[in-house]
Amino acid sequence: MSSLTHFDEGGRAAMVDVGAKAETERSATARGEVTMATETFELVAAGHMGKGDVLGIARLAGIMAAKRTPELIPLCHPLALTSVKVDLSLDEARKAVLIEATCKLKGRTGVEMEALTAVSVAALTVYDMCKAVDRGMTVGAVRLVEKSGGKSGHFQQD
């Protein structure tokens, strides 16, 4: 592992200076999930949740969140994202909504936080839209599964 980079010589939090880094194509993919009761899952799958299209609205929330990541995470750089893709799918066996987000850009810093934020906010949106029926849902397993570009190169886990 590399040393922590978000501290100055005095140990104070600081935004990393990326000005000298080369611009490269960068992408990151994150995943997460929301597990729920059978009744809740069936309502989501049938499109009968009272607040509307759970998956569609969560997809939009994830896209919006990726674009606003530097407003939420204090030391993130504002980025000119070229692509944000958020996919939600249903896992009937586990009664879960699976979420995957991929963010891309050509720039000097990575997009891992944008992908993770997109997944997290999409998951929270699913919870918000379904909480009247099921307050026992679980948001979890949010993780980076792949990143590419930059000096550190390619990373992948699943």
Q: Which of 8, 17, 91, 128 is catalytic?
A: 128
**CA neighbours closer than 13 Å in the CB half-sphere of residue 102:** 9
User: Collapsing DSSP states into helix, strand and coil, what is residue 35?
Assistant: strand
53 belongs to the catalytic site: no
User: Among candidates 136, 84, 86, 87, which has minimal Cα distance to 111?
Assistant: 84
Looking at 47-145, list the stretches that DSSP marks H as alpha helix, in order from N- to C-terminal side.
Answer: 54-67, 69-72, 112-130
The token pair that represents 112 in the structure block: 């891992």
Give the active site residues: 128
